[in-house]
Amino acid sequence: MNKGTIHVIDDEPIIRDILEQLLTGEGYTVELSASGEEALPKFEAATYDLVLLDLLMPGLGGLEVLPTIKRLRPSTAIIIITAYASVESAIEAMKIGAYDYIQKPFKHEELLLTIERALAHKTLQDENNRLKEELRQKFSFSSILGRSKVMEHVFGLIKAAAPTRSTILVQGESGTGKELVARAIHTNSNRSSFPFITVNSGALPPDLLESHLFGHVKGAFTGAVSEKQGLFEAADKGTIFFDEISTIGLETQAKLLRVMQDREFMRLGGTKTIRVDVRIIAATNVDLEDLIAQRTFRMDLYYRLNVIKIVLPPLRERREDIPMLVKHFLDVFSKENGKNIEGVNKDVLELLERHPWPGNVRELENLIERTVVFAEDKIITRDSLPDLFIAPLDSEVEESAISEAALDLKERTLAFQKRLIETALAKANGVQKTAAGLLGVKPTTLNEMIKRLDINSGNL
C-alpha cells in the first residue's frame, strides 16, 4: 500500500540512502535529489505529498529552495532536516512555510512520527481547501441564476459592491435569495478567507440578541456564569449578515449604530473596549422607510446601512428566468436523488410561468424537489404536480372566463395568493406550520402574508 510520495533533497549520499531504505520499507514512494538545483525542475512536472529538505547544501540551500517549492506546489508538506547549529534557520524556514524541522542525527521513530503528523495535517488542509472551493463555486456570481434585464442589473450591483468595504442593504420579498446574494458578495471579496456569520435578527429577544452580538462578561446577568465572545468578535475581518434587520428593537439598533460608526464595543457588563473590522450586509423584506415613518426603525441606522442598496425582484416580475431555474433545480435534485429527470413538458412549464410564486424562488425550488422525489418518468407532466398547486390555477382560469370586470395584475396576484393560502390552510386543518410546508415558504413568511391579506385562519 502506497502511503504517499516523499521527495528527499539532501547533498549527503549516506543520508539519502538511509532515508530511501527507511521510507520505502514503511510503504512510501521515494524520490531522491542531491541538490536544490537538481530538485526544483522536478516540481514543474510532478507533485509530492511531502519533502524532506536539507537546510545546508552547496549551491541552493534549503531557505532558497523552500519558497520556490511552496510557490509551485503550495499544498506539499515540507520538513526541514538541520544540524543543531542551524536550528534558528530551521525556525525561520517554518515561518515561510515549512511544517516542522528535525535535527541530525535523527531517530527513525521520531522522523516517521513527524512525517505522519505532517501528512495528516496536509490531508486536513487539502479537505479544508476543497470545502472552501465548493463554497466558492456554490456562492459564486454564477450561482445566482437569471437572464432577465432586472437580474442583469442586480448582477452588476453585486459585482461592483463585492470588492469594496461598503455596507450593503439587500431588499426583497422572502424567498428571493437575499442570503445567497450576501454570501456571493462575501465569497468574492477580500474577506472570503474570514468568517461569514448569519444573524437571524427576529429569532431572539432583545437581551439575548445583544449578548449574542456583543458577548458578555461573567455575572453580567442572571445565568451569565462565564465570559462569552460575541458574534462581532467571531466575525472580525469577515462579514456579518443580518437577516431581516427590521425585526431588531430600537435599543439594539442604537448599539449596532455605534459599532458601525466607531468599529468598537463593550461586552455586556464589561468595561474593556474591543475593536473589530467587520463588514455588515443587512437584508429586509419590508421597506425600512415605512418603518422609519412609524418610528420603529432609526433613520440614522438606515442611512448607515443604505450605502449600497440591492433590490431583488420577486419571481413573478422575472418570469422569463423560470425555465432556467427549473432546469437548474431539476439537475440538482435529480443528482441528489439518483434520478435522470430530463425536463418538464410544455403544459407544466406554462403552469409554472403563470403561477404568482408568493414564496418566490424558494417556493419554486421546494416544488421541483418534491416533484423530482415522486417522479416516475424522465419528463415531468401535469400529473406530477401536487393538487394544491394546480387547483387555484384552474379556478383562476374559470373565474377569468366568466368575469366581466377584469382585475388589474396586482389585484389578481393578491387574490390568487389569498386563495392559495386558504387552500393550504384548509388542507393543514388551520396549522400554519404545516401549511407553510405545503406552500414551500417559512412559517414566519406565511404568518406575515396571512396578516397582510387579512385571512381569518380560525374559520377555515
My answer on whether 34 and 161 are in the same domain is no
Burial class (CB in 10 A: 0-12, 13-18, 19+), 394: exposed
Same domain for 306 and 339?
no
Are 168 and 23 within one domain?
Answer: no
Sign, Cα dihedral of 351, 357, 361, 364: negative
15 with 59, same domain: the answer is yes
Check which CATH number belongs to the domain holding 40 and give it. Answer: 3.40.50.2300
What pLDDT was estimated at residue 141?
57
Structural domain including 422 reads: 316-459
User: What pLDDT sits at residue 401?
Assistant: 38
Domain match, 146 and 96 both: no
Indicate whether 309 and 320 sit together in one domain.
no
Do 149 and 246 belong to one domain? yes
Cβ-based burial of 86 (10 A; exposed 0-12, middle 13-18, buried ≥19): buried
Distance in angstroms (rounded) separating the CA atoms of residues 36 and 410: 73
What local confidence, expressed as pLDDT, does residue 356 receive?
Answer: 87
3-state secondary structure of 285: coil
Cα end-to-end distance, the chain, whole Å: 67
DSSP for 432-457, written as a single string = HHHHHHHHTS-HHHHHHHHHHTT--G
- Residue keyed to cell 472580525: 236
The CATH number linked to 270 is 3.40.50.300
The domain boundary residue, chosen from 135, 165, 195: 135
In angstroms, rounded to a whole number, what is the distance separating the alpha carbons of residues 178 and 168?
11
**What SS3 class is residue 110?**
helix
Q: In terms of domains, do 368 and 283 share one? A: no
Phi, psi for 316 (deg, rounded to 5) = -65, -15
Among 101, 116, 135, the domain-final residue is 135
Residues 33 and 161 in one domain: no
Length of the chain equals: 460
What is the structure's pLDDT at 386? 79
Q: Looking at the structure, do residues 170 and 279 belong to the same domain, yes or no?
A: yes
> Could you give the angle at which helices 36-45 and 62-72 cross, rounded to 10 degrees?
0
Rounded CA gap, 434 and 429, in Å? 9
Residue 38 pLDDT: 94
- pLDDT at position 260: 93
Digit-coded pLDDT (tens) for 172-214: 998 899 998 999 899 889 998 899 999 987 767 777 888 889 9
Q: b/e per residue, 27-46, with b = 16+ CB within 10 A?
A: ebebebbbbbeebbeebeee
- Which residue, 313, 343, 375, sits at the end of a domain? 313
In terms of domains, do 342 and 410 share one?
Answer: yes
The answer to whether 43 and 69 are in contact (CB under 8 A) is yes
The DSSP element (H or E) to which 415 belongs, if any, is helix 409-427
Task: Render each residue's pLDDT in the chain as its tens digit; 460 residues.
Answer: 678 999 999 999 999 999 999 999 999 999 999 999 999 999 988 999 999 999 889 999 889 999 999 999 999 999 999 876 577 888 888 888 899 999 888 899 999 999 999 999 999 888 877 776 666 666 555 567 788 999 989 989 999 999 999 999 999 998 899 998 999 899 889 998 899 999 987 767 777 888 889 988 888 777 777 888 889 999 999 999 999 899 998 989 999 999 999 999 988 888 899 999 999 999 999 999 999 999 999 999 999 999 999 999 999 999 999 999 999 999 989 999 999 899 999 989 988 998 888 889 999 999 999 899 888 889 998 888 877 676 555 444 444 433 444 445 566 667 777 878 888 888 888 888 888 877 777 787 788 788 878 887 655 5
Neighbours of 58 (CB within 10 A): 10
Cβ–Cβ under 8 Å, residues 303 and 338: no
Cβ contacts of 314 within 8 Å, gap of 6 or more = 172, 173, 176, 357, 360
The CA angle 327-328-333, to the nearest 5 degrees, is: 100
Per-residue pLDDT, 133: 63
As a three-state string, the secondary structure of 179-202 is HHHHHHHHHCCCCCCCCEEEEEHH
What are the pLDDT digits (tens) for 301-321? Answer: 999 999 999 999 999 999 999
The count of other CB atoms within 10 Å of the CB of residue 138 is: 13
Q: How many domains does the chain have?
A: 3
Does residue 326 sit in the same domain as residue 295?
no
The residues with which 80 forms a beta bridge, in sequence order, are 53, 101
CA 326 to each of CA 36, 122, 147, 367: distance values in angstroms, whole numbers, following the listed order? 56, 40, 13, 10
CATH number at residue 427: 1.10.8.60
